[in-house]
Chains A and B, each alone.
Chain A
Amino acid sequence: MAFAFTQDQDNFRHMVQRFCVEKAPTTETRKLMDTEAGYDRQVWQLICGELGLAGIHLPEEAGGSGFGAVELGIVMEEFGRSMICAPYMGSIVMAGTALSTCATPSQQQRWLAPLLNGEKIAALAICEASGEFYSTHLHCTARISSEGWQISGEKRFVVNGKQADTLIIAAATDNGPRLFVTESNATGIDIQQVETMDPTRKMADLKLSSVDAELLGQDVPIDLDALQNLTLVALANEMAGGAQALLEAAVEYTKLRVQFGRTIGSFQAIKHKLADLLLIVESAKSAAYQAAVAFDNKEDVSENASLAKAATSEAYLQAAIDCVQLHGGIGFTWENDTHLWFKRAKSSEVFMGTPAFHRERMLQAMGD
């Protein structure tokens, strides 16, 4: 299973990379993470408009660019490397994909199109009060009456929930789980932004009491598991990018720092740690790339997505721990940028399921 990026994909990566270097230095990240919105509207407009990244992985019929998970992975890897503050994960990867997969053409026109041109933000609410991302039994329920569907229940860890104009909610019906869509300002919705360790990825809790909502697509069973796989692939690639950034920072710093009359990077104790870390980071990249290819080829998607999630979670956290350690005291300060990635690593480790959960999911997907 050979894997190499094409020249076009390399060029695409460089474009995203240049954009991030220019528009998302950590000075910007630090400014935006302290705001309630957590992102810059003008930069978001550029991402959706000029760069055309919003629908990169969505089919052209849905208003996307018709590329796949590999290209989405490139965007995520570079975004994860730069720590750019943008509602890409919530509005595009999660909500956008759900709309593109489940909504009717007219629903896509109404709900998806404004996401892709950056006019509106949406969020996908799946996780329940239990904190499980893969619950087969949803407590949030939808009831139908002559007035239409009404949803009641609680949702947690909704990425970009507070920023969203549109909410997509997974709820149980008498015939199984379905997805519903509603405006975020509909009556009966209480949205509270929660304090997350990683302030660059905003999340909210939702309380819904008899909220009017529209069923997405036809009244047929939805495969939440399959829907989650693309998010896992995107998250894995984002984490691989973050781990790469931490490795680069550690290499750069240990080449500069002088103690005992020599750069600390000339000590084997440091060099060996970095060599180990390089192996960990490259292995994580391989797993993330493979998961994207498998998703596009529809081959063992759950198995590869969970493998990549577990691998990149562990690698990212290891890179974060090592990067703080290799910086010594300065690495533990607020002033040093390492903690931005450290907190994203910690948050991503458990978001969408812990590594242990995904190792088990992988084995089960293999049939063992």
Chain B
Amino acid sequence: MDNLITQARQWLSENWDPDLSLVEWRTKLAETGWATADWPEEYFGKGTSAEDAAEIAAVFQEMGIVGAAQSGVRMLAAATLLEHGNDTQKRKYLKRIITGEDSWCQLFSEPGSGSDLAGSTTRADLKGDEWIVNGQKVWNTSAHHADYGLLLARTDWDVPKHQGLSYFIIDMHQPGVEVRQLKQMNGHASFNEVFMTDAVVSRDNLLSEVGNGWQVAVTTLAHERRSFDRIRGGGSLAEQKGRIYDEYRKELEIDNEPYKWYPQRAGRVDLILERARETGAINDPVTRQEIAKLLIMSRSAQWTAARARAAQQAGKPQGPEGSLGKLAASNIARLAARVHTDISGADALLTGAASPHDGIIAEILVSVPAVSIAGGTDEIQKNIISERVLGMPKEPRFDTGPFKDVPRNSVSGKWGAS
């Protein structure tokens, strides 16, 4: 282990050159495996454990050296390819993920399948050596500049819903793929809608087997949280000078653009006391009570997360504390929005630059509703918690037969998806 770190340090100090281009430097990283050390040796890694790879990444940080392109959906694509891709696919795509030459997006959710992701009705039909794709996807981050998409589509309508899905890599640059930005209630447009009309996927770009798409999608989803944690790294390189740093900052700016309002959707508990002192609300006994309730909820959630990590480190089986973070985050965000409103008073009706704290307060108030929906609604989360942690019985299901006989997922009236 120590030896590995020493080697990493030595290789980096001998090879690092901030005047190289991003691609030139990262090509070296891909060829040696230093930026993705926990990937297998035959696929641009060094076959180390995840812990060792994290230590090596810390050396990059410490030496102020640019690593692999991690942001966006790239790392989800990489994790999925590493687990389910064949040799040709891994060689073709993984290197350009590291160098950042290719950008990726995820094509899972549909207007008619959100919580019930396996109810997907985008279809892929095999014609000769090509799959022909028709359907619509939604909530696709970065799709407007993606080179490839991770596509979940139905290939068999005669089997139960989970068994009829397949997983593809689709080339986003083709006439059959149309990407439209989706504007959210908070004014940002962080996602897209993707319309596929006779879009083409070559047979080589099926991942895993036909009908195994759900299992592959589960892999992607499992890595989703981890990859979002990684996005937040890289801040220490903000001040460095040199060609490569300029290119790196530009890349980050593009990749992180969709996430810039994410701190606000979590409620910005960190601003509460500062704002309360600023407005004088700190002297109001009613507001003080609400502030205290929020701080108690927020700290308790942090300690619950710490308990979960500590139990994991001590090698104990995961207790209930490990499954509650997402639900806690929704409650905290909602309460934080209410307390921010109390603190701001009538100023809470302003928006944009007129809103307190350079518009941040307004952005909190209109972004918080996303937290309890994105990545699984609170309602689905509560089903999972009650069934997996408390062992409550499942609801009776009406969608277990062949998918063609299952009532279609839809909404009625104006939003009808017929």
Asked if A287 and B300 sit within 8 Å, CB to CB, the answer is yes
Shortest Cβ distance from residue B264 to the other chain A in the assembled complex, whole angstroms: 23
Residues of A within 8 A of B293 (CB): 359
Are B394 and A359 within 8 A (Cβ)? no
Q: Are B393 and A360 in contact, CB atoms less than 8 angstroms apart?
A: no
Quick check: is A227 within 8 A (CB to CB) of the other chain? no
User: Contacting chain B: which of A51-59, A145-153, A278-286?
Assistant: A278-286
A290 close to B392 (CB less than 8 A): no
Contacts A254-B392, A275-B386 hold; do A289 and B303 have CB atoms under 8 A apart? yes
Given contacts A251-B390, A284-B300, contact A262 B396 (CB under 8 A): yes
Q: Which residue of A lies closest to B299 (CB)?
A: A307
B399 to chain A, nearest CB (A): 16
Are B382 and A272 closer than 8 Å at their CB atoms? yes
- Are A360 and B310 within 8 A (Cβ)? no
Residue of A nearest to B321 (CB): A282
Those of A230-276 within 8 Å (CB) of chain B = 251, 254-255, 262-263, 265-268, 270-272, 274-276
Q: Which of B256-287 contact A (CB under 8 A)?
A: 273, 276-277, 282, 285
Q: How far is the CB of A306 from chain B (nearest CB, A)?
A: 9
Is B389 among interface residues, defined by CB-CB distance under 8 A? yes
- The answer to whether B396 and A356 have CB atoms under 8 Å apart is no
Question: Do A276 and B382 touch (CB < 8 A)?
Answer: yes
CB distance from B333 to the nearest CB of A (A): 14
CB distance from A51 to the nearest CB of B (A): 25
The 8 Å CB contact of A286, one of B303, B381, B396, is B303
Say whether A274 contacts B390, CB under 8 Å: yes
Cβ-based interface call for A363 (8 A): yes
B288 — which chain A residues lie within 8 A by C-beta? 359-360, 363
Interface string of B367-386 (1 = CB under 8 A from A): 00000000000010111011
Residue on B with the closest CB to A281? B320
- Whether the pair B316, A4 counts as a contact (CB closer than 8 A) is yes
Q: Does A208 contact B (CB under 8 A)?
A: no
**Chain B residues with Cβ under 8 A from A287's Cβ?**
296, 299-300, 303
Output the nearest chain B residue to A10 by Cβ-Cβ distance: B316
Chain B 296-342 residues near chain A, CB threshold 8 A: 296-297, 299-304, 306-307, 309-311, 313-314, 316, 320-321, 324, 327-328, 331
If A255-B393, A271-B392 touch, does A278 touch B320 (CB 8 Å cutoff)? yes
If A286-B307, A368-B282 touch, whether A356 touches B297 (CB-CB below 8 Å) is no
Residues of B within 8 A of A2 (CB): 306-307, 309-310, 313
Question: Binary interface profile of B, 54-95, with partner A (CB < 8 Å = 1, else 0)?
Answer: 000000000000000000000000000000000000000000
Question: Separation in Å of the A350 CB from the closest CB of chain B?
Answer: 16
A285 CA to B394 CA in the complex, in Å? 27
> How far is it, in angstroms, between the C-alpha of A310 and the C-alpha of B289 when the chains are bound?
11
Q: A272 is contacted by which of B282, B292, B379, B396 (Cβ under 8 Å)?
A: B379
Contact B328 A4 (CB under 8 A): no
Q: From residue A98, how far is it (CB to closest CB) to chain B in Å?
A: 28
Please tell me if B291 contacts chain A, counting CB pairs below 8 Å: yes
Contact between A283 and B328, CB atoms less than 8 A apart? yes
Q: Is A189 an interface residue (CB 8 A)?
A: no
Report if A359-B289 is in contact (Cβ < 8 Å); known contacts: A276-B382, A283-B297. Answer: yes
Evaluate contact between B392 and A3: CB separation under 8 angstroms: no
The reply to whether B393 and A282 form a contact with Cβ atoms under 8 Å apart is no
In angstroms, Cα B316 to Cα A3, docked, is 13
Q: Does B187 contact A (CB under 8 A)?
A: no
Q: Is B235 an interface residue (CB 8 A)?
A: no
Complex Cα spacing A229 to B174, Å: 68
Q: Chain A 327-362, CB within 8 Å of chain B: the 1/0 string?
A: 000000000000000000000000000001001101
**A311 on the B face (CB < 8 A):** yes
Which residues of B are found within 8 Å of A268, using beta-carbon distances? 379, 382-383, 395
Of B273, B324, B387, the residue contacting A271 (CB under 8 A) is: B387
Instruction: Contact check, A278 vs B303: say whether CB atoms are below 8 A apart.
Output: no
Task: Check if A255 sits within 8 Å of B396, measured CB to CB.
Answer: no
Contact B301 A265 (CB under 8 A): no
Given contacts A2-B313, A278-B320, A278-B385, contact A266 B393 (CB under 8 A): yes
Contact A275 B385 (CB under 8 A): yes
* Interfacial residues of chain A within 278-326, with CB under 8 A of chain B in the complex: 278-279, 282-287, 289-290, 307, 310-311
Nearest Cβ in chain A — how far from B414, in angstroms?
26
Q: Tell whether B391 is near chain A: CB-to-CB under 8 Å.
A: yes
Question: Inside 8 A of A226's CB, which chain B residues have their CB?
Answer: none
Interface residues, chain A, with chain B CB atoms under 8 Å away: 1-4, 251, 254-255, 262-263, 265-268, 270-272, 274-276, 278-279, 282-287, 289-290, 307, 310-311, 356, 359-360, 362-363, 368
Nearest first, the 6 A-B pairs at minimum CB distance are: A359-B292, A4-B310, A271-B386, A275-B382, A286-B303, A2-B310
Question: 30 pairs across A/B with beta carbons < 8 Å?
Answer: A1-B302, A1-B303, A2-B306, A3-B303, A3-B306, A4-B307, A254-B392, A262-B396, A266-B392, A266-B395, A267-B395, A268-B382, A270-B392, A271-B382, A271-B387, A271-B392, A272-B382, A272-B383, A274-B390, A275-B382, A275-B386, A278-B389, A286-B300, A289-B303, A307-B299, A310-B292, A359-B292, A359-B296, A360-B289, A363-B292
Interface residues of B (CB under 8 A from A): 273, 276-277, 282, 285, 288-289, 291-293, 295-297, 299-304, 306-307, 309-311, 313-314, 316, 320-321, 324, 327-328, 331, 379, 381-383, 385-387, 389-396
Given contacts A254-B392, A272-B382, 4 further A-B contacts (CB under 8 A): A262-B393, A263-B393, A279-B331, A290-B303
